[in-house]
Amino acid sequence: MTPEAKEMSEEDWQAGFAKSLGVFFNGAAIARPGEHGERVKDDNFYVVFNAHHEAVPFKLPPQQFGLRWIRVLDTAVDVAPELRRSIFAEVVKPEEQVEVKARSVVVFRCID
């Protein structure tokens, strides 16, 4: 996805200046059954990669991908483990814009 939460076009993939993208991982789309033939399901994740030398504003995916998201990893944030829960507790809504720091990766997990 582009920083505007749109599916990337062929033109987007070819742009030499494009240094940021988001990837949606659908936990309900796991095709392989579990060890006992059961359906396997995981959480949905949205991973944002920003290789640009400046921060880039990113929109979270539309509501069809998830209703509420929390940041579970941010490589630009260096905090003690005991403080992570309070820093990453902020709930982000669909299509809400978040700033992703320069040269960092942010992982959001859907909580709905």
What ranges do the domains of the chain cover?
10-100
**pLDDT given for residue 20 in this prediction:** 83
Q: How far from 43 is each of 23, 61, 82, 112, CA to CA, in Å?
A: 14, 15, 24, 9
**pLDDT given for residue 62 in this prediction:** 92
Query: How does the average pLDDT of the chain come out, rounded?
Result: 83
C-alpha span between 94 and 97 (Å, rounded): 9
**pLDDT given for residue 84 in this prediction:** 65
Longest dimension (CA), the chain: 48
Per residue in 23-66, pLDDT tens? 998 877 676 777 888 776 788 999 999 998 999 999 999 999 99
**pLDDT given for residue 87 in this prediction:** 66
- Are the CB atoms for 5 and 60 separated by under 8 Å? yes
C-alpha span between 62 and 76 (Å, rounded): 25
